[in-house]
Amino acid sequence: MEYRREIDGLRALAVIPVILFHAGFETFRGGFVGVDVFFVISGYLISSIILKEIEDKNFSLIKFYERRIRRIFPALFFVMMVSLPFSWFWLLPRDMKDFSQSLVSIYLFLSNILFLRENDYFSVASELKPFVHTWSLSVEEQFYLIFPISMIFLLKLGRRWAVVALGVVLIYSFYLSQRDSYAWSKAAFFLLQSRIWELLVGVFAAFYLSNSPRGLSGKVLGDLGGWLGFALILYAVFSYSKATPFPGANALAPVFGALLIILFASNENSVGKFIGNKAFVRIGLISYSAYLWHQPLFAFARHRILNDPGRDVFILLSIVAFVMAYFSWRFIEVPFRNAAFLKRRGIFILFFSISFVFICIGLCGHISGGYKFRFSKEFDQFFLAQKDKNPRQAQCHYSGGEAPSPENYCVLGNGKLKGLLLGDSHADALAFSLSQALSENGLSLRSITYNGCPPVEDVYRFDLRKVHKCYELNKKSFDYALRSDDVEYVVLLGRWSIYMEGTYFDNREGGFESSNRISLDVVENGIKENNNNPLRMEKLTRQYKRSVQRLLEGGKKVILVYPVPEVGFDVPRQLARLKMFGEKDEITTSYDVFMDRNRQVLEAFDSIPDNENLMRVRPDHIFCNAVKGGRCVTAKGSDIFYYDDDHLSNTGARLVAEDVIKAMKNR
């Protein structure tokens, strides 16, 4: 196969945005699309090789998989080996268990399935996973398992039938990708079924160019097509973000950008000369190693540096990733690709032997709970706090497309049914402790909690509009509350400010949540609106107040729980890290930051007129200023009040539950 400099240049155009995106540079907020460019390149190169070898009647599956092993695994083995000591000394048991599972999944070609089951790709938790980026390798490896065999069979039927069959798969995969980017975005992002169309775009480029070796290389047309492809990739890199539904139709820009460059760029036109310049080509040559190195470097830095590592650290680590990439390319990738360096038998023996070792290490890490024996008993309080949450969460807290009837929701407490607990995951965090307090007082409430949904009428999640049932569930819940004689009290609790502000929390002291924006908007006259931000916040403020007042006007007693102080740090994790690295063993946050963050919500709630049936519970009065002036505490002694960065643990929730019970008893 003829070497094309512009393909290595295209690799550079793919890898640089990915690395800078993972480094957290906002300018490259759409840099994750570089992976889609890699998929197109992979589909093109692999199918070009297969078509040429089948045409020359010397294609061999054994030879194909030997090349894949030589290309992918030596550098990967080395990066994983270097990562082991850092994981041993720097990862807490839960993180080490996740790390261990990734060691196994990489060699079973199932990393994408593992990370699908764990976290959203864009979440803070994923940023802490050294090998989360290997999901894309698993997608390619799964493709490599089925594609060559499929090509052999289809080409026996003739090229026309092969093109038709692959075209049907491409169209169906694109349909799944578009559908699931809204209906199940995690699956759309991670699974082969919604990504294979991107690889097949590269396959069709190979089919075309195998019949037209010069491609679309006319100088004027080549420049127009190639620069358009370049522009499409840059458009996606700089305009997309974590909130962009992806892949689906939004992946068309980077995918067809890569396709146009493959088809049009050549040594004969300006776009080919630009993308094929020496600097881009050199980066492209080491792009695979750079891709492997950058995420472990970033993840381990985030584990070791207790606060956000900061811009300068990530700039330095990005440079280090390319330096390390050069050495692993020069001394590992290049030698192992040479069959004279290690014969076929040797490469297969080495692959299976090292895979076996890493799988054993991973299984032992999983079974031992992340090699928990590395830590003394003093750390148990932190590990237990991570699990100190509602044990009925899976049973009683709903999400996604689930919106059952209120009559079927869980009952808290053990006694006379007195009303409802309505809210989101913050309400669920209160549920278990409230249930215990209710039982002690011979009372019960029905719990109706739904993820990412405040207990407010006529609002909906604009970012999840096709799969989120917030509007429908709240309509059912409020109607049930108002018509049911069993409902005397309604307890309302949500992460109120995140819906109002639309952004995750920054405590301005190193604790910063990095994730998608939350887009809550209103429904008026049955129309789901999409307002600009000032108008949206104004209408949400109105709805917050109106929802409370409607319950009061319906004769219900409302216990309005004001915002729970957010922290920004995963509290048990951060406390354990502080202890592990010999730093101070407490976490407090600024009360002024809390007030700034929640000012609009507090003003809205405070503006609701006093009413004998309205009781206000202020969590900030419990956790803030009581121990330290101007600070909000997250723990007291061995009592840890949060199980992550913003949800109260059962221990912390008990303090709020006591105030809720007092409000009920005083009425």
Give residue-wise pLDDT tens across range 591-600.
999 999 999 9
The answer to whether 105 and 114 have CB atoms below 8 angstroms apart is: yes
Domain count across the chain: 2
Geometric angle at alpha carbon 350, from 348 and 356, rounded to 5°:
100
Examine the domain organization and report whether 163 and 312 are in the same domain: yes
Report, as an integer, the average pLDDT of 111-121: 89
Report, as an integer, the average pLDDT of 184-196: 92
What are the phi and psi torsion angles at 560 (to 5°)?
A: -95, 110
Report, as an integer, the average pLDDT of 229-237: 97
Please indicate, yes or no, if residue 637 is contained in any of the structural domains. Answer: no
Structure tokens belonging to residue 251: 């992946």
User: Rounded to an integer, what distance in angstroms lies between the CA atom of residue 654 and that of residue 639?
Assistant: 11
Q: Evaluate if residue 222 carries a pLDDT over 90.
A: no
Examine the domain organization and report whether 441 and 356 are in the same domain: no
Q: Which domain holds residue 415?
A: 386-566+595-623+650-665
**Which DSSP state fits 510?**
S
Surface-to-core class of residue 638, CB atoms within 10 Å of its CB (0-12 exposed, 13-18 middle, 19+ buried) = exposed
Q: Evaluate if residue 216 carries a pLDDT over 80.
A: no
Q: pLDDT band at residue 215, thresholds of 50, 70 and 90?
A: very low
Please indicate, yes or no, if residue 180 is contained in any of the structural domains. Answer: yes
Identify the pLDDT of residue 137. 96
- CATH number of the CATH domain containing 461: 3.40.50
Q: pLDDT band at residue 516, thresholds of 50, 70 and 90?
A: low
Higher-confidence residue of 510 and 258: namely 258
Q: Evaluate if residue 336 carries a pLDDT over 80.
A: yes
Identify the pLDDT of residue 667. 64
Structure tokens belonging to residue 375: 């830590």
Q: Determine the distance from the C-alpha atom of residue 451 to the mean position of all C-alpha atoms in its chain, rounded to a whole number.
A: 16
**Which DSSP state fits 443?**
E
Examine the domain organization and report whether 425 and 340 are in the same domain: no
Using alpha carbons, select from 620, 622, 635 the residue that is nearest to residue 588.
635
Q: How far is CA 451 from CA 253, 277, 331, 398, 422, in A?
A: 32, 50, 49, 6, 11
**Tokens 């004001």, located at residue:** 562
Domain termination site, one of 339, 374, 409? 374
Examine the domain organization and report whether 459 and 311 are in the same domain: no
Please indicate, yes or no, if residue 655 is contained in any of the structural domains. Answer: yes
User: Rounded to an integer, what distance in angstroms lies between the CA atom of residue 115 and that of residue 99?
Assistant: 11
Examine the domain organization and report whether 370 and 290 are in the same domain: yes
Please indicate, yes or no, if residue 628 is contained in any of the structural domains. Answer: no
Reported pTM: 0.87
Domain termination site, one of 318, 350, 374? 374
Report, as an integer, the average pLDDT of 97-102: 96
Three-state DSSP class for 648? strand
Identify the pLDDT of residue 504. 87
Examine the domain organization and report whether 185 and 258 are in the same domain: yes
Please indicate, yes or no, if residue 641 is contained in any of the structural domains. Answer: no
Q: Evaluate if residue 411 carries a pLDDT over 90.
A: yes
Identify the pLDDT of residue 1. 65
Identify the pLDDT of residue 515. 66
Examine the domain organization and report whether 330 and 224 are in the same domain: yes
User: Rounded to an integer, what distance in angstroms lies between the CA atom of residue 148 and that of residue 435?
Assistant: 58
Structure tokens belonging to residue 666: 């005083």
Please indicate, yes or no, if residue 573 is contained in any of the structural domains. Answer: no
Examine the domain organization and report whether 352 and 413 are in the same domain: no
Please indicate, yes or no, if residue 72 is contained in any of the structural domains. Answer: yes
Three-state DSSP class for 24? coil
Examine the domain organization and report whether 292 and 427 are in the same domain: no
Domain termination site, one of 374, 400, 416? 374
The answer to whether 195 and 33 have CB atoms below 8 angstroms apart is: no
Examine the domain organization and report whether 89 and 125 are in the same domain: yes
Examine the domain organization and report whether 12 and 65 are in the same domain: yes
User: Rounded to an integer, what distance in angstroms lies between the CA atom of residue 652 and that of residue 619?
Assistant: 10
The answer to whether 619 and 564 have CB atoms below 8 angstroms apart is: yes
Please indicate, yes or no, if residue 578 is contained in any of the structural domains. Answer: no
Examine the domain organization and report whether 69 and 35 are in the same domain: yes
Reported as a single tens digit per residue, the pLDDT across 371-390 is 999 999 999 999 999 999 99
The answer to whether 426 and 564 have CB atoms below 8 angstroms apart is: yes
Q: How far is CA 145 from CA 148, 233, 402, in A?
A: 7, 28, 36
